[in-house]
């Protein structure tokens, strides 16, 4: 299990990195961006990924900050998950993102693995794409033509595929702070603690005069990418929170899923049922937090 | 650019400069170029944790890192723990011996390095915190109970020594 | 002169043992925690090449062409090995039963995914793997047989064309009046069970460095070898070398638990060395190779079993029909694991008659290999599950049903229907203690309360016997000849009084070096830190086997005691000669050879050794100047089996009862272990900390087998598990921290009364967990009879019901 040979580039500015990617593309060279490497390295070792060149962003300064900006939290794509986990800003202002981060792998992985890397990798079983949909996050990509902002709903295209163009680098992730009196929850079922989820649910909601509002729900691990559960949202918006209502929302969510994926650990039906159960339980969590 | 690169790094306090192939993993570099064989390789795909080392003080899987990424880094491996002069074991190593926290010992350097990071960040962890920290290290021999005991013992000894 | 091996610690020449029976620190550990132990991949030899292996992507195919020219042309590649070389230079590995083996590289056709097809030796592993990508292999696909039903169907494709069938072995065993007890039974309980493939997965995979000396036509193999001499004999056979021309140097191993891919890996590396004019060739199996085909797959079983009971709960008969999917041949001795249950077929119980119908089938799955427990863990799950079903039908508490059927403490030595003799035990005592430890009554109360809340809480109470100290005779009926498994040591004392124990095996994790040091230090009255335990290579080692079959702690203890007894005899003669008295007047006590009745007159062990090595003029006639002694221990009183496989096989019978409480989440199918309690009895505990470690490690592997681990194959026989992402070794979160206690019922026949205990809880934990799960499901009328009881399976069961 040793990687095939590749050329290695370690640009020291963002402009250099962007230029390098453009040049490599012109040369017909299959280049891949190396961020933390925690997902890429196993693929290299198994030779299921065999790029001609790696462009390591590890030497590019300015991509790892975590800051409050215009009422949003902006996380540099190269910030480690551990940095996000330890950030008081993230923990206090966006606890859903914080909780999701703690569910990713183990500490050794979170120390090295970048936040942006997981977004660009777009594994449908990972927590971040679902959280991105729930929080309506924005991804900032930098390419030869400068920056562009991609909303989460457009960013995740399908299985391990994003809207990033070849030559574009994901540089920043923006998310709103959690509004006052908002509730949030994230739950997943995985075989072992720290494993990728068989299925999971992330959501936010608010309680306004005893009614659920602004309900946003996404499921992960059940489709080619994270899925907004709009039918369940519709069933909850304007409704009084109750165990019955949450159970019904779970059932609606499960029914609304197209055929979930099937693997050795979970059949499609099982995954569908997990979404139902996890949503029901998550809604109770979120309602309690919002209360 | 080529597929070889010269890297400079510090491992266990010693400075090294080596030319390496870009695809060389940090685990292979440490083991076979620097001949520090205590960083063991159990899966090469980031699950077992046997190759855990500290890079700039943070635990990392050496198999999921390229040697070239470690250019400029300060690395600690299990060989860096024992007192070089006296040969005395680090308190964490001694605690693993005293609490029978190992059997075959192949995963042990990884557990010890993870514990080193844990106790550096959290000198008095609860059992739940210990489990959370060690969740990414697999042991096939012990069933973990004696490992949990070892970490508790190490923490209490280090805290006693610090208090004294 | 016959040597009597002490069976009690009070027979040792010491006023009180200082090390045996104490949880002393292991002498292995300082080096292991320092990272300085020489595991095989830490070693490099001058000129060494690195091997990588191209493996079959097909479960069953004819090889129609191999083109290695591009690989050979790659800079850094020194040799490429194919089936042509192998056919010219090798024989297929020997197997039990005979004739179901493969060559180390595929010759003519491939029989499973992962079977080695081409191997490369290059200047680095990276380049060797590059070269594999340049090899072209053409296959004609053959229909695979994916399971025993397919394999036994008329006209099924043949895994081995030279055999007319895919059935490796099919036979029955009848012990006692089975038909009568079933005919006379008041109740018969029968069920089918499916145990899916699991396996050892030590953290270190297999590795070796092989060097062929072309002038001497000899082979030296360094590596992660569990059973060095056995491995050497096998290599001699497959590589067509005289056995004394194969030298095995065993390195410390990062866990064993059964087969590593040693035979094939060694043969391939050896032949690459031969092909490169004797350069050393290193082969390190990687984890994907291990998971696909590295000797880590075991126990792929279909059971149909029944027990016969009287109305009062007395179990009178036990019938088992086992169809065991051995995979592509018998190279890994998976057959033995189907025979081992004979050593304790009827568990802890007085069951008068039993029947075993055994069918071992070849398929296009990977060959099966040994795994800790070597067969009884699934067998115990079957028996214990039937006991629980019976208890439910009789409305008896499962603990009570077991108690009524236990072999009584006064009945030992007890011969079970399948022929083995249990040495000693106190099963009711173990049960009483664990029920007390678990506060069983309140566990049941909490379960009753949980049930009223609609929660699925269950309790398992499971008893098992662990056969300890294996003997070949246990496996005679599947084609393994012989009686007696030797373990030889040499104990020597140097001129400064330092003690060296040379053994034939190396470290693997169980702590036998420490046990050796404890025993020799207590016997000779020296400090443990003056004892050096070292591994002899097979060219000079005494006959030995090494780890396996819960034997080595006991066996090495016996061997050291034998060597020490011999040393004592020699030393007494030397001291008597110096003191001008009879040897009978000299005794060894606390490290001194002294005059009986006048202990002031004597010499220390070190003084005697020094005298022997430096003053030959003072030695009595016939005594060599050699303060060393060798002893090869073998289980006493073993015998040949009869035609039903009955014999005294395993020397000792340890016992344990586990109590576990679980809760099933009915919506996710996940099982939470709420509490886990163990009481075991393995006789004298030579190092209690090591015994507990073996127990807890067995719990972890049992949890894996019962809830997490599984080698999954699809309907075309493609393996779907090739990484640790999918083979789910439990982490610290999944393994319960158990509450333990123990009884000590010493073995009357084993050295110092110690029983084999290395395989430990894996005998018990899978059964305990499944029984607890089924106890939780009982109010719903559901039963899970397949392992692992994964969330998907349990949810499906619950969902189908709903």
Of A1, A6, A201, which to mutate for an interface test with C (greatest number of C Cβ within 10 Å)? A1
Q: How far apart are CA B153 and CA C772, in angstroms?
A: 33
- Higher pLDDT residue, B164 or C671? C671
Burial of B152 (C-beta count, 10 Å sphere; 0-12/13-18/19+): middle
Q: Contacts of residue A4 in chain B, CB cutoff 8 Å?
A: 23
Residues 6+ apart with CB under 8 A from C246: C218, C219, C221, C232, C233, C235, C236, C239, C538
**Shortest CA distance to B28 belongs to which of B80, B76, B57, B68?**
B68
CATH topology of domain A7-56: 3.30.43
Q: Contacts of residue B67 in chain A, CB cutoff 8 Å?
A: none
Assign C1 a pLDDT band (cuts: 50, 70, 90).
Answer: low
pLDDT tens-digit series, residues C152-165: 999 999 999 999 99
Give me the CATH number covering residue B21: 3.10.20.30
Residue B146 forms part of a structural domain: yes
CATH superfamily of the domain spanning A182-290: CO dehydrogenase flavoprotein, C-terminal domain (3.30.390.50)
Looking at residue C438, what is its pLDDT? 98
Residue B41 forms part of a structural domain: yes
Q: Are strands A138-143 and A72-76 parallel, antiparallel or unpaired?
A: unpaired
Residue B85 forms part of a structural domain: no
Average pLDDT (C527-535) is 97
CATH number belonging to domain C376-468+650-801: 3.30.365.10
Nearest Cβ partner for C730 among A192, A264, A277? A192
Assign A180 a pLDDT band (cuts: 50, 70, 90).
Answer: confident
Q: Is the pLDDT of residue A237 over 90?
A: yes
Give me the CATH number covering residue B119: 1.10.150.120
DSSP symbol at C4:
P
Per-window interface: B 69-108 vs A, CB < 8 A:
69, 71
Average pLDDT of every residue of chain B: 97
Q: Does A176 touch chain C (CB under 8 A)?
A: no
Same-domain pairing of B66 and B100: no
Average pLDDT (C685-704) is 98
Residues C416 and C338: beta-carbon distance below 8 Å:
no
B104 vs chain A: nearest CA distance in angstroms? 23
Handedness of CA C77, C83, C87, C88 (dihedral sign): negative
Q: Where are the domains of chain C?
A: 9-37+486-633, 41-142+205-253+261-293, 376-468+650-801
DSSP states along C711-776: --B-TTS-B---STTTS----TTTS---EEEE-----SSSGGGB---SSGGGGTHHHHHHHHHHHH
CATH superfamily of the domain spanning C41-142+205-253+261-293: Aldehyde oxidase/xanthine dehydrogenase, a/b hammerhead (3.90.1170.50)
| Residue C731 to residue A277, Cβ atoms within 8 A | no
Average pLDDT (C603-622) is 96
Looking at residue C94, what is its pLDDT? 87
Q: Which CATH number fits domain C9-37+486-633: 3.30.70.260, 1.25.40.10, 3.30.365.10, 2.40.50.180?
A: 3.30.365.10
Q: Is the pLDDT of residue A52 over 70?
A: yes
Same-domain pairing of B100 and B144: yes
Residues 6+ apart with CB under 8 A from C107: C83, C86, C87
Looking at residue C344, what is its pLDDT? 98
Q: Contacts of residue B64 in chain A, CB cutoff 8 Å?
A: 37-38, 41-42, 109, 112
Residue B71 forms part of a structural domain: yes
A37 vs chain B: nearest CA distance in angstroms? 7
pLDDT tens-digit series, residues B7-40: 999 999 999 999 999 999 999 999 999 999 999 9
Q: How far apart are CA B104 and CA C226, in angstroms?
A: 12
Q: What is the CA radius of gyration of chain C?
A: 27
CATH number belonging to domain A67-175: 3.30.465.10
Q: Contacts of residue B135 in chain C, CB cutoff 8 Å?
A: 731-733
Q: Same fold for the domain at C9-37+486-633 and the one at C41-142+205-253+261-293?
A: no
Per-window interface: B 37-96 vs C, CB < 8 A:
37-45, 47-48, 50, 77-79, 81-82, 89, 93-94, 96
Residue B33 forms part of a structural domain: yes
Same-domain pairing of B74 and B103: no
Looking at residue C333, what is its pLDDT? 86
Q: Is the pLDDT of residue C623 over 60?
A: yes
Task: Tell which of B35, B56, B80 closes a domain.
Answer: B80
Residues C501 and C490: beta-carbon distance below 8 Å:
yes
Q: Contacts of residue A2 in chain C, CB cutoff 8 Å?
A: 125-126, 129
| Residue A108 to residue B61, Cβ atoms within 8 A | yes
Q: How far is CA A216 from CA A93, A228, A286, in A?
A: 17, 8, 11
B21 vs chain C: nearest CA distance in angstroms? 10
Q: Return the number of CB contacts < 8 Å for A and B.
A: 95
Q: Does C669 touch chain A (CB under 8 A)?
A: yes
Average pLDDT (B127-136) is 98
**Shortest CA distance to C307 belongs to which of C358, C347, C342?**
C347
> Could you give the 3-state DSSP secondary structure of residue A99?
helix
| Residue A3 to residue B23, Cβ atoms within 8 A | yes
Q: How far apart are CA A150 and CA A141, in angstroms?
A: 7
> Could you give the 3-state DSSP secondary structure of residue C121?
strand
Looking at residue B163, what is its pLDDT? 81
| Residue A189 to residue C670, Cβ atoms within 8 A | yes
Cα B75–B77–B78 angle (5° rounding)?
160
Nearest Cβ partner for B148 among C41, C690, C737? C737
Q: How many domains does chain B have?
A: 2
> Could you give the 3-state DSSP secondary structure of residue C119?
strand
Of C290, C723, C791, C801, which to mutate for an interface test with A (greatest number of A Cβ within 10 Å)? C791
Of C732, C734, C735, C762, which to mutate for an interface test with B (greatest number of B Cβ within 10 Å)? C732
Q: What percent of chain C has pLDDT over 70?
A: 100
Looking at residue B1, what is its pLDDT? 47
Average pLDDT of every residue of chain C: 97
Same-domain pairing of B9 and B69: yes
| Residue A270 to residue C791, Cβ atoms within 8 A | yes
B52-87 burial: b if 16+ Cβ within 10 Å, else e? bbbbeebbbbbbbbbbbbbbebebbbbbbbbeeeee
Average pLDDT (C354-361) is 98
Q: Where are the domains of chain A?
A: 7-56, 67-175, 182-290
Same-domain pairing of B74 and B127: no
Q: Is the pLDDT of residue C642 over 90?
A: yes
Nearest Cβ partner for A5 among B23, B55, B69? B23
Same-domain pairing of B76 and B10: yes
Residue B158 forms part of a structural domain: yes
Q: Does B31 touch chain A (CB under 8 A)?
A: no
Per-window interface: C 728-747 vs A, CB < 8 A:
728, 730-731, 733-734
Output phi, psi for C556, to 5 deg. -70, -30
Looking at residue B161, what is its pLDDT? 87
Nearest Cβ partner for A112 among B65, B71, B132? B65
The domain containing residue B68 runs over which residues? 4-80
* Exposure of C471 in the CB half-sphere (CA atoms within 13 A): 26
Neighbours of chain C (3+ CB pairs under 8 A): A, B
Per-window interface: A 196-215 vs C, CB < 8 A:
196, 198
B23 vs chain C: nearest CA distance in angstroms? 9
Q: Contacts of residue C508 in chain B, CB cutoff 8 Å?
A: 104
- Name beta bridge partners: C739: C677
């Amino acid at each position: 299990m040793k990687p095939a040979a590749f050329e290695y580039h370690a640009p020291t500015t963002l402009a250099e990195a962007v230029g390098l990617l453009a040049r490599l593309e012109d040369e017909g060279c299959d280049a891949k961006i190396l961020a933390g490497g925690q997902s890429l390295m196993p693929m290299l070792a198994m030779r299921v990924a065999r790029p001609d060149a790696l462009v390591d962003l590890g030497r590019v300064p300015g991509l790892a900050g975590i800051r409050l900006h215009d009422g949003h939290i902006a996380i540099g794509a190269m910030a480690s998950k551990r940095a996000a986990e330890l950030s008081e800003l993230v923990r206090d202002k966006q606890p859903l993102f914080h909780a999701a981060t703690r569910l990713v792998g183990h500490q050794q992985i979170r120390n090295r693995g970048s936040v942006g890397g997981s977004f660009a990798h777009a594994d449908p079983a990972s927590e971040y794409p679902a959280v991105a949909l729930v929080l309506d996050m924005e991804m900032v990509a930098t390419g030869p033509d400068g920056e562009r902002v991609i909303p989460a709903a457009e960013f995740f295209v399908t299985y391990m595929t994003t809207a990033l163009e070849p030559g574009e680098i994901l540089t920043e992730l923006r998310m709103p702070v959690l509004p006052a009196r908002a509730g949030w929850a994230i739950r997943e079922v995985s075989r072992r603690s720290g494993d990728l989820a068989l299925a999971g649910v992330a959501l936010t909601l608010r309680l306004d005069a005893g009614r659920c509002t602004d309900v946003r729900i996404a499921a992960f691990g059940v489709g080619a990418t994270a899925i907004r559960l709009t039918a369940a949202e519709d069933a909850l918006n304007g409704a009084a929170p109750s165990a019955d209502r949450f159970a019904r929302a779970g059932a609606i969510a499960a029914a609304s899923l197209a055929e979930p994926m099937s693997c050795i650990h979970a059949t499609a039906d099982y995954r569908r049922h997990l979404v139902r159960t996890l949503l029901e339980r998550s809604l109770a969590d979120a309602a309690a937090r919002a209360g | 650019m080529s597929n070889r690169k010269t890297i400079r790094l510090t491992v266990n306090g010693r400075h090294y400069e080596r030319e390496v192939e870009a695809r060389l993993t940090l685990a292979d570099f440490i083991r076979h170029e620097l001949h520090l064989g205590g960083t063991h390789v159990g899966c090469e795909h980031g699950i077992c944790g046997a190759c855990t080392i500290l890079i700039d003080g943070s635990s990392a899987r050496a198999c999921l890192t390229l040697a070239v990424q470690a250019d400029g880094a300060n690395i600690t491996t299990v060989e860096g723990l024992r007192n070089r002069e006296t040969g005395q074991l680090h308190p964490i190593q001694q605690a693993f011996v005293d609490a029978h926290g190992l059997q075959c010992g192949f995963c042990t350097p990884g557990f010890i390095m993870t514990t080193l990071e844990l106790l550096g960040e959290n000198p008095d962890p609860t059992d739940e915190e210990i489990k959370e920290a060690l969740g990414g290290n697999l042991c096939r021999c012990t069933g973990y109970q004696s490992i949990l005991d070892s970490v508790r013992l190490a923490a209490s000894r280090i805290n006693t020594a610090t208090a004294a | 002169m016959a040597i009597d091996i002490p069976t009690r610690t009070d027979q040792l020449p010491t006023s009180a043992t200082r090390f045996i029976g104490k949880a002393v620190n292991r002498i292995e550990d300082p080096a292991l925690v320092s990272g300085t132990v020489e595991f095989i991949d830490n070693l490099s030899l001058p000129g060494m090449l690195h091997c990588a292996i191209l493996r079959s992507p097909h479960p069953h195919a004819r090889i129609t062409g191999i083109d290695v020219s591009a690989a050979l042309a790659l800079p850094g590649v020194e040799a490429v090995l194919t089936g042509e070389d192998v056919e010219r230079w090798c024989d297929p590995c020997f197997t039990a039963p005979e004739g179901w083996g493969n060559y180390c590289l595929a010759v003519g056709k491939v029989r499973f995914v992962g079977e080695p097809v081409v191997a490369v030796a290059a200047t680095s592993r990276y380049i060797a793997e590059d070269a594999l990508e340049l090899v072209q292999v053409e296959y004609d696909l053959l229909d695979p047989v994916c399971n025993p039903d397919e394999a036994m169907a008329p006209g099924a494709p043949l895994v081995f064309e030279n055999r007319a069938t895919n059935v490796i072995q099919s036979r029955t065993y009848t012990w006692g009046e089975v038909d009568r007890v079933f005919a006379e039974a008041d109740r018969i309980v029968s069920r089918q069970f499916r145990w899916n493939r699991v396996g050892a997965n030590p953290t270190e995979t297999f590795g070796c460095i092989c060097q062929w000396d072309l002038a001497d036509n000899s082979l030296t193999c360094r590596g992660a070898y569990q059973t060095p001499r056995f491995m050497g004999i096998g290599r001699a056979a497959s590589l067509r070398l005289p056995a004394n021309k194969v030298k095995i140097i065993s390195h410390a191993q990062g866990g064993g638990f059964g087969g590593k891919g040693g035979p094939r890996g060694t043969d391939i590396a050896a032949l690459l060395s031969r092909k490169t004019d004797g350069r050393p060739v290193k082969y390190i199996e990687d984890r994907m190779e291990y998971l696909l085909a590295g000797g880590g797959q075991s126990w792929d079983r279909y059971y149909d079993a029944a027990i016969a009971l009287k109305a009062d709960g007395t179990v009178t008969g036990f019938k088992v029909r086992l169809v065991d999917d051995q995979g592509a041949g018998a190279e890994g001795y998976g057959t033995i694991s189907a025979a081992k249950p004979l050593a304790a077929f009827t568990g802890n119980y007085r069951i008068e008659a039993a029947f075993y119908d055994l069918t071992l089938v070849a398929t296009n799955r990977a060959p099966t290999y040994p795994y800790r427990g070597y067969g009884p863990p699934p067998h115990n799950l079957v028996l214990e599950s039937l006991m629980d079903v019976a208890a439910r039908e009789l409305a008896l508490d499962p603990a009570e049903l077991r108690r009524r059927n236990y072999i009584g403490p006064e009945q030992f030595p007890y011969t079970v229907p399948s022929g083995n003799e249990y040495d000693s035990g106190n099963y009711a005592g173990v049960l009483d203690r664990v029920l007390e430890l678990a506060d069983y009554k309140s566990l049941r109360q909490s379960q009753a309360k949980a049930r009223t809340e609609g929660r699925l809480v269950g309790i398992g109470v499971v008893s098992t016997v662990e056969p300890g100290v294996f003997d070949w005779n246990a496996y005679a009926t599947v084609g393994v000849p012989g009686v007696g498994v030797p373990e030889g040591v040499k104990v020597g004392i140097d001129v400064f009084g330092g003690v060296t124990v040379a053994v034939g095996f190396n470290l693997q994790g169980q702590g036998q070096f420490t046990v050796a040091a404890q025993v020799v230090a207590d016997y000779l009255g020296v400090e443990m830190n003056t004892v050096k335990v070292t591994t002899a290579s097979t060219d000079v080692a005494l006959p030995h086997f090494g780890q396996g079959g819960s034997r080595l702690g006991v066996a090495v203890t016996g061997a050291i005691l034998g060597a020490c007894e011999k040393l004592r005899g020699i030393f007494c003669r030397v001291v008597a000669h110096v003191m001008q008295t009879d040897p009978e007047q000299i005794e060894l006590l606390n490290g001194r050879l002294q005059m009986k009745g006048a202990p002031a007159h004597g010499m220390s062990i070190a003084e005697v050794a020094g005298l022997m090595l430096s003053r030959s003029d003072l030695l009595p006639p016939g005594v060599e100047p050699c303060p060393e002694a060798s002893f090869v221990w073998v289980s006493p009183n073993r015998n040949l089996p009869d035609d039903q496989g009955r014999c005294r096989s395993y020397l000792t019978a340890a016992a344990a009862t586990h109590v576990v409480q679980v809760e099933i989440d009915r919506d996710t199918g996940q099982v939470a272990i709420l509490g886990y309690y163990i009481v075991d009895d393995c006789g004298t505990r030579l190092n209690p900390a090591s015994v507990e470690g073996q127990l807890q490690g067995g719990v972890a592997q049992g949890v894996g087998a019962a809830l997490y681990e599984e080698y999954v194959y699809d309907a075309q026989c493609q393996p779907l598990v090739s990484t640790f992402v999918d083979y789910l070794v439990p982490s610290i979160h999944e393994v319960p921290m158990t509450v333990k206690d123990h009884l000590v019922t010493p073995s009357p026949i084993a050295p110092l009364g110690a029983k084999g205990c290395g395989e430990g809880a894996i005998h018990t934990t899978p059964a305990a967990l499944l029984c607890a799960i089924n106890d939780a499901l009982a109010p719903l009328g559901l039963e899970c009879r397949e392992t692992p009881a994964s969330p998907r399976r349990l949810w499906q069961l619950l969902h189908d019901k709903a």
